[in-house]
Amino acid sequence: MGLGDLLPGGGTQKSEGGLGMFGAGSPTFLTTKIDEVINWGRRNSLWPMPFGTACCAIEMMAAAASNFDLARFGMERMSFSPRQADVLICAGRVPYKLAPVLRRIWDQMPQPKWCVSMGACASSGGVFDVYSMVQGIDTIVPVDVYVPGCPPRPEGLIYGLMMIQEKIRQESLGRHFEHRAEDPALVAAPRADEEEIVGLTGPFGNSTHQEKLADGRIVRSPDPNDDVPV
Amino acid sequence: MGGLDAVERGPLPSDASATSDSGSAAGESDHPSVAALRAKFGDAIQGDTVHAGDQTVVWIDPARSLEILTWLKDDPGQKYDMMSDVTGVDYGGGRPVEVVYQMFSTTHKRALRIRCKLPLDALEIDSVVGLWVGANWLEREVYDLFGVTFKGHPDLRRILMPQDYAEGHPLRKDFPLRGRFSRAEQTRRALAQDVERFYGPEELVEGGAPQQVAARSEPAEGEG
Amino acid sequence: MAERTIELNVSRNPEMGVDGLPKASPLAPIDIAEPDLGTEEMLINIGPQHPATHGVLRLICELDGETVVDVTPDIGFLHSSFEKLGEYRTWNQIVTLTDRMDYLAPLIYNCAYVMSVEKLMGIEVTERCKVVRVIIMEMDRIFGHLLWLGTTAIDVGAFTPFLYAFQQREKIYKLHESLTGARITTSATRVGGMMADLPEGWIDQLNDFLDHFPNTLGEIDRLLTGNQIHIGRTQGVGVIGADEAINYGLTGANLRAAGVDYDVRKDQPYYDYETYDFEVPIGEHGDCYDRYLCRMEEMRQSVRILRQAIDRLPGGPINVQDPNISLPSKTDCMSDMESMIHHFKLITDGIPAPEGDCYMAIEGSKGELGMYVVAEEGGTKPVRWRIRPPSFVNLSAIPKLARGHLVSDLIMINASLDIVLGEIDR
């Protein structure tokens, strides 16, 4: 067995976009695209930064523990320091008080970096459509993969991370700056502009926003945007 | 049981014995502390009732709350040495905000609930941190979420919301569920906050600046 | 009837270890006269994103060298406004919020909430429901303690107990799943009963867990209880006396480790806990090691309660037979006009409550868990729903416990208090 067997598109057969190897049975050198080999390395040694806050963090721990064993996918090392991490797993609710912390951790992570938003609360605020909660962390940091669920099962998280791996596989070094551009002026500014945030977080017609009056009439509670003090 | 009458009649307690003394049908309390409180403090005891079957609630005059609670803690016949909970209740509609003390006596193994009605224009009451240290954070939380000032509290600052939270006191009924500002404004303010601004070295000095921080963090629109 | 309490008896002879063997403490303080270096006090910030704070807790430590002079906890980083949200939800809708508060022992929260509402409304649940709730609460006490055990062991440098504990937790996850369909966010209870009766074969599954769990617990016990490193890190660390512990409002194992015999299951019994044969472990030193021993023993006692509860599990309906409280079965809804109307009324209006307030305290996995509900006459939503979170009050004692210890001890003290930020910040 040569090295090529271990590589994507392995063996001596040269495959489209894969790795090829000359001289069957004598693995002296191989040819490939630089994108392929770099992405292969990146996606199989992801170091997650677990930003766990609530229930999802427990499922994230379960994913790392014996039964599900995240290490099988090259995520052996949970990096609790953002400086040595590749993937931010935001697991759980993020209140506004925590928002600058999340943002700072994202800013501290070196490029290239990816972000998984785990669970309903991190992705959209979930049931917590209230005064203290960020309505989706995509208003603060760019998100690559959303994992739905409340909380998602460990399999869900693992699948989400495998989608990150798939995303990495399709990246190209040549378009690095296009993919990874960050404006230093935007540090500590909302990622989305005002209109987008209001659009993302607008109330939807669940019972929370409806009030039943004493005379039996049902009214919609006033839009919070009307309540901005002048 | 069945029939459409039940829809109009409302829920019936399954246990008939619970009917007589539960809920709104409040009976006279036979809690030993109530009689003792009435004998000792007279007019300062504004009322008492039994809720939820066997839970005694006593309303007291907030002006004399510290005196009464001190007695409840220290009197050998009462000995309420554990302050389980301090919280607030806002009924809305201009009705008084109530501060609720839930106490337990590990000596006599009994519980008592004390409530104080605070009118909306005078939301202040004496702190009980001097009696029960455990009330420290609980009172800070009531201050944070209801805007009740606890006189004599050593460190009265917001505890759950950010120190400079400008939208008011969230658990008051006039506070909208989604906050007073728009989501965009809330996001902008959240990201603009410097997490290291509070709890600097000078603010950790005991008895010093925390009071000033509390004063600074008062909402701009002024709570009444 | 067994004795009410058991005193934890572990040798504290400095010359002898737990197993009676002579012990050489590897962490004995070295007595060297250090020159006064004239160091300044330093401010160190731990958290809110730090693996050792067990959540998004921030601790601001004032240090003199490595000694903690003072520590100021900063909380609220997970404030999700459950209490405000509860005022907009009907009584049964709130159940789904409760298990997101303490995600380490969700069923205890489910039960505590509905017990409080039932007490307010004067509803007496069926005998079967009582026993089922005792079973699921004790199961989740083990569930919560296991997570505490695993993460605390990591904090003292032992990784194996974490894997052992999670292996057992996975079995309880499966039990949750077959009972409710969810692994953590169970929402298993309803006012007046349960979401559903126990599924077929569930008790066998639980029995299977109970057969194997004590062995694993014994393995973890052998890894930690006599472990010199563990003893060195925990004995004499974070000591609090009995009177002080009461004054601070500590509850649960933290209070019992200080030698106070207070367990809500014994002192304000609910669901016939007084008829179960179990004991409450009481420590005597009030340090991290006693807190550890208390929780380990509590898990064994929970197994005892579970076995008794399984034996006495009666038949009969699980929900209150009152169409104004319990939903009719779906089959009835589709075939019977009356049932459909009851279903419609319950879903659109909810259950009206009498005026009053109710504080229901139960023994949660972290301590005294109080649920305080206030209702107005005929209200289908609470005027105020308040949770008395045990870890909130327990955590407020951390400055007292940590002063004078090393930073590494602060981590151990924080872990030994068994906090969960979801209920602290709510």
Query: Cβ contact (<8 Å) for C162 and A65?
Result: yes
**So what's the pLDDT on residue C25?**
52
Query: Cβ contact (<8 Å) for C388 and B102?
Result: yes
**So what's the pLDDT on residue B177?**
82
The mean pLDDT values, 10 residues at a time, for chain C of 426 residues are 61 56 53 65 81 82 84 88 88 89 90 92 90 92 91 87 88 91 89 89 92 91 86 86 89 90 88 89 88 91 92 89 84 86 85 89 90 88 90 90 88 89 87
Torsion angles phi and psi, residue B139, rounded to 5 = -70, -35
**Tens-place pLDDT, residues A48-62:** 888 888 888 888 888
**So what's the pLDDT on residue C114?**
92
Query: Cβ contact (<8 Å) for A99 and B194?
Result: no
**Which chains pack against A, by 3+ Cβ pairs within 8 A?**
B, C
Find, among B50, B145, B49, the residue nearest to C384 by Cα. Answer: B145
Cβ atoms within 10 Å of C132's Cβ, excluding its own: 26
Find the mean pLDDT for residues B125-150: 90
Please, which residues have CB within 8 angstroms of residue A205's CB and are 6 or more apart in sequence?
Answer: A220
Query: Cβ contact (<8 Å) for C49 and A207?
Result: no
User: Which amino acid is residue C136, in one-letter code?
Assistant: I
**Both tokens assigned to B6:** 């039940």
Picking from A101, A208, A228, the nearest residue to B181 by CB comes out as A228
Find the mean pLDDT for residues A155-166: 90
Chain A contact set for C79 (CB, 8 A) = 95, 97, 132
Rg of chain A taking only CA atoms, in angstroms = 22
Separation between Cα atoms, residue C19 and residue C134, nearest integer Å? 35
Q: What is the residue whose two structure tokens read 């500014």?
A: A189
**Both tokens assigned to C76:** 């609220």
What angle (nearest 5°) sits at the alpha carbon of residue C252, between those of residues B72 and C310? 125
Find the mean pLDDT for residues B20-28: 44
Put the strands of the sheet holding C42-46 in their side by side order.
Answer: C42-46, C58-64, C67-74
Closest approach of C278 to chain A, Cα-based (Å): 30
Query: Cβ contact (<8 Å) for A131 and B170?
Result: yes
Residue B81 pLDDT > 70:
yes
Domain span at residue C50 reads: 5-425
Residue B17 pLDDT > 70:
no
All structural domains of chain B, each given as residue ranges with its CATH number in brackets, are 20-216 (3.30.460.80)
A69-78, A220-229, C316-325: segment of lowest average pLDDT: A220-229
Which tops the pLDDT comparison, B18 or B59?
B59
**Interface membership of A208 toward C (CB under 8 Å):** yes
Model confidence at A226, pLDDT cuts 50, 70, 90, reads very low
Please, which residues have CB within 8 angstroms of residue C32's CB and are 6 or more apart in sequence?
Answer: none
Picking from B177, B182, B190, the nearest residue to A130 by CB comes out as B177
**Which chains pack against B, by 3+ Cβ pairs within 8 A?**
A, C
**Interface membership of A194 toward B (CB under 8 Å):** yes
Model confidence at A15, pLDDT cuts 50, 70, 90, reads very low
List A residues 127-186 in contact with B (Cβ-Cβ < 8 A): 129-132, 134-135, 139-140
Separation between Cα atoms, residue B186 and residue B179, nearest integer Å? 9
Please, which residues have CB within 8 angstroms of residue C124's CB and are 6 or more apart in sequence?
Answer: B13, B14, B15, B18, C118, C320
Separation between Cα atoms, residue A11 and residue A1, nearest integer Å? 9
**So what's the pLDDT on residue A185?**
58
Question: C49, C92, C149, C381: which to substitute to probe chain A, counting the most A Cβ within 10 Å?
Answer: C49
**So what's the pLDDT on residue A186?**
60
All structural domains of chain A, each given as residue ranges with its CATH number in brackets, are 43-173 (3.40.50.12280)
**Both tokens assigned to C129:** 């429901």
Find the mean pLDDT for residues B36-56: 84
Residue in B closest to C47 by C-alpha: B195
Residue B14 pLDDT > 80:
no
Separation between Cα atoms, residue C81 and residue B170, nearest integer Å? 9
B14-23, B129-138, C203-212, C279-288: segment of lowest average pLDDT: B14-23
SS3 (DSSP) at A215: coil
**So what's the pLDDT on residue A190?**
66
Chain C contact set for A132 (CB, 8 A) = 79-81
Between A99-108 and B183-192, two packed helices, what is the crossing angle to 10 degrees? 60
Report the CATH number that the domain containing residue C406 is assigned in CATH. 1.10.645.10
Question: B191, B199, B217, B223: which to substitute to probe chain A, counting the most A Cβ within 10 Å?
Answer: B191
Residue A207 pLDDT > 60:
no
Residue A102 pLDDT > 70:
yes
- Using an 8 Å CB-CB cutoff, list residues of chain B that contact chain A: 161-162, 167, 170, 175-195, 220-221
Residue in B closest to C385 by C-alpha: B89
Query: Cβ contact (<8 Å) for B195 and A104?
Result: yes
**Tens-place pLDDT, residues C30-69:** 566 666 666 677 888 887 888 777 778 888 888 888 888 8
Find the mean pLDDT for residues B193-202: 63
Query: Cβ contact (<8 Å) for C324 and B9?
Result: yes
Q: Judge contact between C263 and C237, C-beta under 8 A.
A: no
Find the mean pLDDT for residues B185-208: 65
Total domains present in chain C:
1
Model confidence at A228, pLDDT cuts 50, 70, 90, reads very low
Query: Cβ contact (<8 Å) for C422 and A54?
Result: yes
List A residues 137-176 in contact with C (Cβ-Cβ < 8 A): 150-151, 153
Query: Cβ contact (<8 Å) for B18 and C260?
Result: no
Helices marked H in chain A — which ranges? 3-6, 34-43, 55-64, 99-108, 120-124, 154-169, 176-180, 194-201
Chain C contact set for B201 (CB, 8 A) = 43
Residue A197 pLDDT > 90:
no
Separation between Cα atoms, residue C49 and residue B78, nearest integer Å? 44
Cβ atoms within 10 Å of A148's Cβ, excluding its own: 14
**So what's the pLDDT on residue C18?**
55
| CA distance to A127, C161, C233, C286, per residue, from C289 (Å) | 39, 16, 9, 8
Residue in B closest to A200 by C-alpha: B183
**Tens-place pLDDT, residues B160-178:** 888 888 888 888 888 888 7
The ipTM estimated for the assembled molecules is 0.85
Model confidence at B199, pLDDT cuts 50, 70, 90, reads low
Please, which residues have CB within 8 angstroms of residue B57's CB and are 6 or more apart in sequence?
Answer: B48, B49, B50, B51, B113, B114, B115, C357
Q: Judge contact between C175 and C184, C-beta under 8 A.
A: no
